[in-house]
Structure 1
Amino acid sequence: MTEAPDGPPPRLKKRGHSRAEFEATVADIEAQVRASNARLEKRAGRNLPMAILIGLGLGGGLLVSLLLVKDLFVVFAGALLVFTAFELASALRFAGRDVPRIATVVAALAVGPASFYWLEDGHWLVTLAGMALVSVWRVVETLWPKHRAPRAEVVKDIFAGIFVQGYVVFLGSFALLLAGHEGGEWWALGFLVVVVSTDIGAYASGLLLGKHKMAPRISPKKTWEGFIGSVAAAVISGILVAVFMIQQPVWVGLLFGVVLALTATLGDLSESLIKRDLGIKDISTWLPGHGGFLDRVDSVLPSAAAAYAFYLIFA
């Protein structure tokens, strides 16, 4: 009798070999994708796929709140103000400034609805009240031993808390003030479209063409090529917004785009200067691919005030 050959039949050997080859191919592709993503993230400075997903989520919330039920914009934008103010206050605390976070959140929570429903009076009065609340809160805290500090340090803490209210809450709530006016939701949406276009234009042109550093000591990745791309994108989107969204002539849209490109760049550089002064890369890690809320809305803050000025002049 002939003995059976050792090992599996030839067909099974072939199947096993094919499966091993398939798994090796999949592993190789996965390694290449990870390596490509790592190179892209190193060059772009962010996790691009996650950044896109987060951006789409924020954009979807913005569109729903502004176009379907305008009052929802109070919730959407108000929540952004609260989270951004809280994260900047936290970053300042980590840097040694005792900024009262509860008072910061309460003040930020009040300014949004006041700006939207009470317009200019609510915007200014509640912002000032919020600054006063944060300041008094810090003074009262000194009654407890763990919050006591030399007078000069307490004064610095108070100014840091006022800075959060002025930089984040006051500037950001101009978007709510704008949306609260008759037809202002289209101006609010329009300026946000231009700012997002500016960011995309700067990112794409800087990534592809960027060679000459714009402000290497403040923002090492920002280039003049990226700035030119941001202005071009802002002008194009500004004209489209003017003609099709806010019913303004082409020259207003051109001016709108140029001004918002400048304010968006100023906002980006200002936030980079804050992070450099604090010695951190991102204000927080709450938004994967973006860093924190302030990293996402830094361009919006001064641009909201500029858009409100345009509304007052041209609407």
Structure 2
Amino acid sequence: MADTENSPERPRRGRAASARDEVEAAIHDIETKVHDLEAKAREIDARIEARAGRNLTKAIFFGLVLGFSLLFSLIVVKELFMLFAGALVAFTVYELASALRFAGRDIPRVPLVAVSLGMVPAAFYGGAAGLWWAYLAAVGIVSLWRIVETVRPAMRQPSVSLRTDLAAGIFVLSYVPLLAGFAVVMTARDGGQWWVLAYLIVVIAIDTGAYASGILFGKHPMAPRISPKKTWEGFAGSVVAATIAGILLAVLMIGAEWWVGLVLALTLVGVATLGDLTESLIKRDLGIKDISTWLPGHGGFLDRLDSMLPATIAAYVIFSLLG
């Protein structure tokens, strides 16, 4: 019995238990610190989301996914840009048409998406003329579809009025596939893909500059009744960011004079800002915060394209005159 009590196994077991306790305590300490860091990160995200109106982490992730997809489609094979543009157009048309339907405008979503997709290859292979002819055909098809629905009793649904429905359908076609189509027209032309990439980067710089300076310095609302979080300080930041990006892109990427980049930047600042406010007016009229929730951290596709769509036609005009 004495030999058992004095056995070296007991001190060894005691040391092992002590070491295990120390390891467990260290692990527990690490877990506690990780939980604290996670709590602080969530608190910071909540503050940023409350200030900016969106989840920044998710916004950056999905923004990078879209950005790399865009770069691949523009730089590798031009024809791939039709697929990228077609997907964006289809989702955006569907979500805008859905938002309008929920607001009482009875417009056919599936025909709208179908004819909008048809406008993309028409723009790529037929140029601006092909885009316009496809747009007119799309307006005719969607309008005829809606008229036929009103004639057939089985397909009639309560709506504001036929005239309002037709106007809403034409608005969707004009706002999304027609404006986006000019980016496809530019891409199809020699060197046009670099202009498309340049104007998109400038618009991203505009949004980023406005976002950053608005969070840091924003105090004076630009249009409080339309978009309460848009400030003059944010607008100033967008001008600075766009000017720097425009001049650098003109000189280093599209091979133009520096003043061409300045013209592009200042034009896009004005047009993109108006586009952003226009989409805010649309959402305000429909009584919604985001057009949809398909893009985590961004809202809907139109919430990300509101500045880019009107900027497309401005970039196309400058490209046609100075490119």
Instruction: Find the residue that maps to 1:214 and give its secondary structure.
Output: strand
* Aligned residue number for residue 270 of structure 1: 278
Structure label with greater radius of gyration: 2
1:96 aligns to 2:104 (yes or no) = yes
CA distance in 2, matches of 1:114, 1:123: 6
Instruction: Find the residue that maps to 2:161 and give its secondary structure.
Output: helix
- Write the deviation string for residues 226-256 of structure 1: whole angstroms up to 9, x where unpaired: 1011011111111112112222211121111
- Write the deviation string for residues 283-304 of structure 1: whole angstroms up to 9, x where unpaired: 0000001001001111111110
1:147 CA displacement: 2.5
1:145 aligns to 2:135 (yes or no) = no
Tell me: CA distance 1:154–1:48, structure 2 relative to 1, closer, same or farther (3 Å).
Answer: same
Aligned residues: 312
Instruction: Find the residue that maps to 2:298 and give its secondary structure.
Output: coil
Which of 144, 147, 155 is the aligned partner of 1:136? 144
- Write the deviation string for residues 78-103 of structure 1: whole angstroms up to 9, x where unpaired: 21111111110011111111110011
Aligned-CA RMSD value: 2.0
* Aligned residue number for residue 235 of structure 1: 243
* Aligned residue number for residue 297 of structure 2: 289
1:198 aligns to 2:238 (yes or no) = no
Which of 20, 29, 32 is the aligned partner of 1:24? 32
1:33 CA displacement: 1.5
1:113 aligns to 2:137 (yes or no) = no
1:13 CA displacement: 5.3
Tell me: CA distance 1:169–1:22, structure 2 relative to 1, closer, same or farther (3 Å).
Answer: same
Which of 162, 173, 182 is the aligned partner of 1:154? 162
Structure 2 gap ranges (5+): 11-15
* Aligned residue number for residue 310 of structure 1: 318
The 5 A counterparts of 1:222-261 are 222-261=230-269
1:17 CA displacement: 4.5
Structure 1 gap ranges (5+): none
Tell me: CA distance 1:111–1:25, structure 2 relative to 1, closer, same or farther (3 Å).
Answer: same
Tell me: CA distance 1:193–1:10, structure 2 relative to 1, closer, same or farther (3 Å).
Answer: closer
AA partner of residue 125 (structure 1): W
Whether contact under 8 Å (2:128, 2:182) holds in the other structure is: no
1:27 CA displacement: 2.2
1:22 CA displacement: 3.6
- Write the deviation string for residues 12-66 of structure 1: whole angstroms up to 9, x where unpaired: 5555544444433332222121111111111121111111111111111111111
Instruction: Find the residue that maps to 2:228 and give its secondary structure.
Output: strand
CA distance in 1, matches of 2:17, 2:283: 66
1:51 aligns to 2:64 (yes or no) = no
Whether contact under 8 Å (2:49, 2:56) holds in the other structure is: yes
CA distance in 1, matches of 2:37, 2:256: 51
Tell me: CA distance 1:246–1:21, structure 2 relative to 1, closer, same or farther (3 Å).
Answer: closer
Instruction: Find the residue that maps to 2:230 and give its secondary structure.
Output: strand
Instruction: Find the residue that maps to 1:77 and give its secondary structure.
Output: helix
1:120 CA displacement: 1.6
- Write the deviation string for residues 147-179 of structure 1: whole angstroms up to 9, x where unpaired: 3447x6121111111100011111111111111
CA distance in 2, matches of 1:286, 1:9: 53
CA distance in 1, matches of 2:188, 2:18: 76
AA partner of residue 268 (structure 1): D
* Aligned residue number for residue 33 of structure 1: 41
Which of 189, 201, 220 is the aligned partner of 1:181? 189
After TM superposition, the score normalised by the length of structure 1 is 0.93
CA distance in 2, matches of 1:15, 1:195: 53
CA distance in 2, matches of 1:67, 1:14: 56
AA partner of residue 297 (structure 1): L
CA distance in 1, matches of 2:153, 2:301: 32
CA distance in 1, matches of 2:63, 2:27: 39
Identity %: 55
